Amino acid sequence: MNSQSVQSLFKPFANGNMTLSNRIVMAPMTRQFSPDGVPGSDVVAYYRRRAENGVGLIVTEGTVIDHPDASNQGGVPHFYGEAALNGWAGVVNAVHEAGGRIIPQIWHMGARGHVGDYSQSDITAIVQAFAQAAFEAKRLGFDGIELHGAHGYLIDQFFWEKTNPRTDNYGGDMIARTRFAVEVIEACRRAVGPEFPIVLRFSQWKASDYNAKLAETPALLEKFLAPLVDAGVDIFHCSTRRFWEPEFEGADLNLAGWTKKLTGKPTITVGSVGLDGDFMSLFTEGKGAGNTKIDGLIERLEREEFDLVAIGRALLVDPAWANKIRDGRTAELIPFTSEAVKTLY
């Protein structure tokens, strides 16, 4: 693939007060290299390297809000407290100095039991913690925020019928199960104002069920997405394991394609871009992945099926992936290995 054929990947993109130099997004990837929740100089350098090497937008690893249940993993960075926020200020400054743009992924990893255990006061406190994190992101100079609403974590636990047994206003039918997310989005919007982009990452699949679907048909997906659009989502980050797989029978649109078609909002696609194996093989088989062509991705981007492309493992192992793709230096791409997850490079 020559540099001319990837031109669509390097067109600028704008949303609200955020302008990107190209369509390449660094996908959020948990790294667990922040002792006591504080990102240090190595984390600063990690993100700066990707900005220096042509990534248009960096989405940070998941950062946890100020709530006791928000994290159950050591080394996951916080998005509260003076030390952690000062660490993130260093990351933002470094990325901007390198010409990049960056948003934090704001995260609550889930209820310790299930979402039915939370009282109204618990929910109110969690919503406020999300809003406070959004406020801090804008204060620190980030270019937007991403709310993690995928993969069985807290927001998604409210979405999914199997993990939301509530019988009050936060449970019940598909629309009712979006209420918690709607309150989070609305609170974040009040905290950041109208022009600060809010991205929502969502998924159909769950870590416990790769074939799960929140919405079995396009009509149900439209019904699910509508309240989230009304609440203030600017961009949907549509998490799939393989970007080329159709979301529904009868059309080859993937989840990002359907989401854009149904909402009119910009979307980010993701899922094994540039690699010949999906990311779960790392955990199930300890396997890496080789590089593969991205012609199919470019074709979909050129017909505007989606707007942005998130790159995960390929950027994890090769900070210069974007520049190499732009310059046609595909022979220099570094294959992903399982060792890559053990270092902060």
> Which residues are catalytically annotated?
153
Single-letter code of the amino acid located at 97: E
As given in the structure block, the two tokens for residue 283 are 């955990």
Single-letter code of the amino acid located at 225: L
CA distances to 18, 202, 256 from 179, in Å: 27, 15, 22
Q: What are the beta bridge partners of residue 195?
A: none
Hey, how many other C-beta atoms are within 10 angstroms of the C-beta on 209? 12
- Phi and psi at residue 244, to the nearest 5°: -85, -5
* Helix, strand and coil in the chain, % to nearest 5: 40, 15, 40
H helix runs in the chain, sequence order: 41-52, 82-97, 120-140, 154-159, 179-192, 218-231, 255-263, 280-285, 295-302, 313-317, 321-326
Please provide the DSSP assignment of 73-126 as one string.
Answer: STTPPBSSSHHHHHHHHHHHHHHHHTT-EEEEEEE----SS-GGG--HHHHHHH
Residue 103 contacts residue 55 (beta carbons within 8 Å): no
As given in the structure block, the two tokens for residue 193 are 């104002």
339 burial class (0-12, 13-18, 19+ CB within 10 angstroms)?
exposed
234 three-state secondary structure? coil
